[in-house]
Amino acid sequence: MFLKETKLKGCFILQPKIFEDSRGYFFESFNQQKFNESIGLNINFIQDNESFSVKGTLRGLHYQKGEFAQAKLVRVIKGKVLDIAVDIRKNSPTFGEHISLELSEDNKQQLFIPRGFAHGFVVLSNTAIFSYKCDNFYNKESEGGIIYNDKSLNIDWKLEESELIFSEKDLELPCFKEARF
């Protein structure tokens, strides 16, 4: 597994070693010991989630607060998404900055997003199956979010506004300056 830290401290791009031959391919998608050694932390993932979405579906930007904050390891099993992580750690030198990364079934990259980040993605392919591991259980009372088109974040979602599909809940999220972290 090849690991590269992004400009946001603690966020890592993981590229597995892929073994291909005439039959297809094989790769180790997760190994707890190798993962923890590589990032230098002891992360214990306790929940796996998966979503299926159609092109243009934008999910996010979401986060969990306080004792229910979550670190996530995300990847795409089928299709292609643009994945976004926003640093919401108030004491971080990159507070309010974001990274974007295309995750796909072809590149098989994964993104580790530590606690203290908002996260979202938009589906770029006709459909996508998105998978993520979490190190803490979801708690509805601790959820928070930031509206996808916040002007101060200036995120390029790579699709036209008319192509985007949202949940009503995501359209009611506050702007970055009004969000409670």
pLDDT for the residue numbered 169: 95
| Structural domain containing residue 166 | 44-178
Is-catalytic flag, 119? no
pLDDT grade for 21, boundaries at 50, 70 and 90:
very high
* Residue 148 belongs to domain with CATH number: 2.60.120.10
pLDDT > 90: percent of the chain? 98
Q: Peptide bond preceding 14: is omega within 30 degrees of 0, i.e. cis?
A: no
H or E stretch at 168: helix 168-171
Going by the DSSP 8-state scheme, the letter that residue 67 receives in this structure is G
User: Is the model's pLDDT at 144 over the cut of 90?
Assistant: yes
Residues 6+ apart with CB under 8 A from 68: 136, 137, 138, 139, 142
Q: Phi/psi class of residue 38: alpha, beta or left (left: φ > 0; alpha: ψ in -120 to 50)?
A: alpha
- Which listed residue (98, 119, 132, 148) is catalytic? 132
pTM, entire model: 0.95
Predicted confidence (pLDDT) per residue in 43-60, tens digit: 999 999 999 999 999 999
Q: Is residue 25 part of a domain?
A: no
- Which listed residue (62, 63, 119, 138) is catalytic? 62
Q: Is residue 50 part of a domain?
A: yes
pLDDT for the residue numbered 12: 97
Predicted confidence (pLDDT) per residue in 22-37, tens digit: 999 999 999 999 999 9
Tell me if 132 sits within 8 A of 46, measured CB to CB: no
Is-catalytic flag, 62? yes
Q: Is residue 59 part of a domain?
A: yes
pLDDT for the residue numbered 1: 81
Q: What is the mean pLDDT of residues 102-115?
A: 98
Q: What is the mean pLDDT of residues 81-108?
A: 97
Q: Is residue 19 part of a domain?
A: no
How far is residue 54's CA from residue 15's CA, in Å, rounded to a whole number? 25
pLDDT for the residue numbered 81: 98
Q: What is the mean pLDDT of residues 68-92?
A: 97
Q: Is residue 72 part of a domain?
A: yes
H or E stretch at 180: none
> 3-class DSSP state for residue 162?
helix
